[in-house]
Amino acid sequence: MTGELIHALTVADPLVGFDTAALVDNFWALTVDGLTYGSVYALVAVGYTLVYGVLRLINFAHSEVFMLGMFGQYAVLMMLGFAPSGNAYNLGVTMTVVYLAIALVGGMAVSGGVAVGLERVAYRPLRKRGAQPLAFLITAIGASFVLQEFVHFILPRLTGDRLGGVNAQQPIRLVVPETQFTLFTANITNVTIIIILSALILALATDMFINRTKFGRGIRAVAQDPVTATLMGVSRERIIVLTFLIGGLLAGAAALLYTLRVPNGIIYSGGFILGIKAFCAAVLGGIGNLRGALLGGLLLGVMENYGQVLFGTEWRDVVAFVLLIAVLMVRPTGILGESLARSRA
Amino acid sequence: MTVAYGRIEALHGISLTVEEGELVTLIGANGAGKTTTMRAISGVHPLARGSIIFDGQDVTRMKPHLRVHAGIIQAPEGRGVFAGMTVMENLEMGCFARTFKTKAEHDETVERVFTFFPRLAERRTQVGGTMSGGEQQMLAIGRALMARPRLLLLDEPSMGLAPMIIQQIFRIISEINKQGTTVLLVEQNAQQALSRSDRAYVLETGTVVRTGPGKTLLADPAIKDAYLGVA
């Protein structure tokens, strides 16, 4: 499928193509692949949207929480004895699932830990001092660079050059993409199935947690009215930690899923663009709105996949941002609006 | 106690006492410091000086959510209904700090709230933000009752409501108090509030200027003049 795609793209016009034939021919394949990317965006977007709902803060360092999740799951696989190589392991279905699950938990633990640590070290001291919103924003950007450069320069020294540094990690391939069946005209691979199914389960679990459980209600209460929530006996500080934790856990899970689709993506700068796109997805769906983030992620993934075939691969990122701008011009609060936060009644 | 917003003192060394089982009212004009007093008792506004003693325990430095655990529950000014949550979800928020031993205990608490406010039972699944002012006030008080308050703080429950509804709300407040809950009520509707309270304090620009039994103050010409709108 990828081969056909690249062929279709190379025959496109030099600057901006408009290859409707390629889009039509590959429509279902592009949709399915867009959904796999979209699943990753969606999970990462939840972290932006929940933190924004509770703190009115865009946590720009969330992209690095995701990036460290990629390294986290990679490190766990190394500890389990897997060696990086160009070749794929063939462990059989059961063992592959077991190792993927362990790596998933590893990625989630690292990202969750980093997100909570970030809150503790970077944001809480600012809150204690009653800092201006701008100070939080600058701190978030600063934290983002600190985490990137940590992986860039310090992590290789701590691990004897086995992790981090200037180059991407050589992949540890547990799953080789193999077509399982064909849906419409799209070949559905095992990787696609794992990504979409896992993301779906995690999204449903998160939605249940936020909408059906006591602490989920606590998060919504703090988002809607922090003072009244406090009067109900909710500790705002604990809710903030919980929010960062959930966002981190989902980013860590997304990190593992992403490396299945893009095995060469594990690099210190690998969270940056993806993080911005996930942030776009959150705004697209309506920042502060959980279901908005999930919907925005999927939509963004699919649309940019269509766009890159229609206009040319190099326009992929442009499509994402143009889509965001176009939607915000029509609906400034995003597709679903800010429902987790204030009601507009 | 003394409360200051920045460098401006909103309350200048006022002293209030509420005995167990009492219904005590705090009246005063806008800006007299009534809401500030309530916020200070709940701990969402820090004290500059002074102390708050609850049930023999100094809670002055206690975090707000722990005061809720201790039994100081407030239905805030403007009701503070979570607009995006249903009636049931709002009620569940009321008992956030409470651990029920059994499901039955939880259900009993909900039933008790519904006995006070049958309207809420009919509207369980309605979203808070779409309810009328009176219904929202019922929800705010009902939500506070979910926590089983030992001291119930009600900040202007009559605000913006029609006279009929105000009557109804005050009757229920009296009933809640008769069933054993200590109530500290802040009101601008002095007539209703004073006639139903054991004792009352009159607050003017951050100072207590009068105190006494509710009915005595109600008969006081100076109070009549200032707060009851009788010429």
Whether B92 sits inside 8 A of A214 (CB atoms) is yes
Residues B229 and B231: their CA atoms lie apart, in Å, by 6
Residue B100 lies in a domain: no
The string over A262-295, giving b where at least 16 C-beta atoms fall within 10 Å of a residue's C-beta and e elsewhere, is bbebbbbebbbebbebbbbbbbbbbbbbbbbbbb
Nearest to A218 among B64, B83, B96 (CB): B96
Query: Closest Cα of chain A to B74: distance in Å?
Result: 6
| Chain center to CA of B83 | 20
Is pLDDT above 70 for B9? no
Domain holding B200: CATH number? 3.40.50.300
Beta-carbon-side half-sphere exposure of residue A24 (alpha carbons within 13 Å): 4
B36 in contact with A, Cβ within 8 Å: no
Cβ B156 vs Cβ B192: under 8 Å: no
Q: Which helix (H) or strand (E) holds B46?
A: none
User: pLDDT higher for A266 or B189?
Assistant: A266
A167: left (phi over 0), alpha (psi -120 to 50) or beta: beta
Distance of residue B89 Cα from the nearest chain A Cα, in angstroms: 8
DSSP secondary structure string, A202-217? HHHHHHHHHHHSHHHH
Query: Residue B204 forms beta bridges with which residues?
Result: B207
Q: Quick check: is B168 in a domain?
A: yes
Q: A237 to chain B, minimum CA–CA distance in Å?
A: 10
Decide if pLDDT at A336 tops 90: no
pLDDT at B7 over 90: no
Domain that holds residue B178: 3-81+148-227
Interface residue A31 vs chain B (CB under 8 A):
no
B114 in contact with A, Cβ within 8 Å: no
Distance CA A170, CA B99 (A): 51
8 A C-beta contact, residue B177 and residue B153: no
ipTM metric? 0.90
Mean per-residue pLDDT, A66-83: 94
Residue A16 has pLDDT above 80, yes or no: no
What pTM did the predictor assign? 0.89
**Can you tell me whether residue B211 is helix, strand or coil?**
strand
Return d(Cα B104, Cα A232) in angstroms, integer.
Answer: 21
Q: pLDDT tens-digit profile of A303-313? A: 999 998 888 88
| Tally of helices (H runs) and strands (E runs) in chain A | 15, 2
**How many CB atoms lie under 10 A from the CB of residue A323?**
19
Chain-chain contact of A234 with B63 (C-beta, under 8 angstroms): no
Q: Which two tokens stand for residue A259?
A: 């490396």
CA distance linking residue A274 with residue B143, whole number of Å: 43
B38 and chain A in contact, CB less than 8 A: no
* pLDDT the model gives residue A10: 57
**Total domain count, chain B:** 1
> Which of B59, B65, B72, B98 should be substituted to probe chain A, the one whose Cβ sees the most A Cβ atoms within 10 Å?
B65
Would you say residue A344 has pLDDT above 50?
no
Smallest Cβ–Cβ distance between A343 and the set B68, B76, B84 belongs to: B84
Estimate the crossing angle of helix A27-55 against helix A214-224, to 10 degrees. 70
Q: Which residue from B84, B96, B143 is facing A214, i.e. has the nearest CB?
A: B96
**What would the mean pLDDT of B84-111 be, rounded to a whole number?**
94
Q: Give the pLDDT band (50/70/90) at residue A8.
A: low
Does the residue B220 lie in any domain? yes
Q: Give the whole-angstrom CA distance, residue A215 versus residue A236.
A: 11
For chains A and B, CB pairs below 8 A equal: 72
Q: Name the band, by pLDDT with cuts 50, 70 and 90, for residue B14.
A: confident
Are the Cβ atoms of A235 and B143 closer than 8 angstroms? no
- pLDDT bin (cut points 50, 70, 90) of residue A129 is very high
Q: Is B98 on the interface with A (CB under 8 A)?
A: yes
Structure confidence at residue A343 as a pLDDT band (50, 70, 90): very low
**A-chain residue closest to B98, CA distance:** A233
Residue B7 lies in a domain: yes
Contacts A339 to B, Cβ<8 Å: 84
Domain assignment present for B99: no
> What DSSP line would sit under chain B, residue for residue?
-BEEETTEEEE-S------TT-EEEEEE-TTSSHHHHHHHHHTSS--SB---EETTEE-TT--HHHHHHHTEEEE-TT----TTSBHHHHHHHHTTT---SSHHHHHHHHHHHHHH-HHHHHTTTSBGGGS-HHHHHHHHHHHHHHT--SEEEEE-TTTT--HHHHHHHHHHHHHHHHTT-EEEEEES-HHHHHHH-SEEEEEETTEEEEEEEHHHHHH-HHHHHHHS---
CB contact under 8 A, A224 and B83: yes
- Contact of B132 with chain A, judged by CB distance below 8 Å, is answered with no
* Sequence-distant (≥ 6) Cβ neighbours of residue A262 within 8 angstroms: none
The residue-averaged pLDDT of B186-198 equals 90
Q: Give the sign of the dihedral formed by CA A11, CA A16, CA A18, CA A24.
A: positive
Angstroms from A282 CA to nearest CA on chain B: 19
pLDDT in tens, B57-66: 888 899 999 9
- Angstroms from A210 CA to nearest CA on chain B: 12
Does B152 map to a domain?
yes
Phi/psi class of residue B184: alpha, beta or left (left: φ > 0; alpha: ψ in -120 to 50)?
A: beta
Q: Is the pLDDT of residue B100 over 60?
A: yes
Residues of A in contact with B44 (CB under 8 A): 227, 230-231
Report the pLDDT value the prediction gives residue B223, as an integer from 0 to 100. Answer: 80
Mean pLDDT, to the nearest integer, of B115-126?
95
Length of chain A: 345
Burial of B148 per CB tally in 10 Å (0-12, 13-18, 19+): middle
Interchain CB distance below 8 Å, B98 and A233: yes
Under a CB-based contact definition with an 8 Å cutoff, are residues A62 and A221 in contact?
Answer: no
CA distances, A106 to each of A71, A76, A77, A87, A252 (Å): 9, 6, 9, 22, 8
Residue of B73, B83, B143 lying closest to A343 (CB–CB): B83
Cβ contact, residue pair B80, A230, below 8 Å = no
Among B155, B171, B152, residue whose Cα is nearest residue B163: B171
Q: Does A62 contact B at CB distance below 8 Å?
A: no
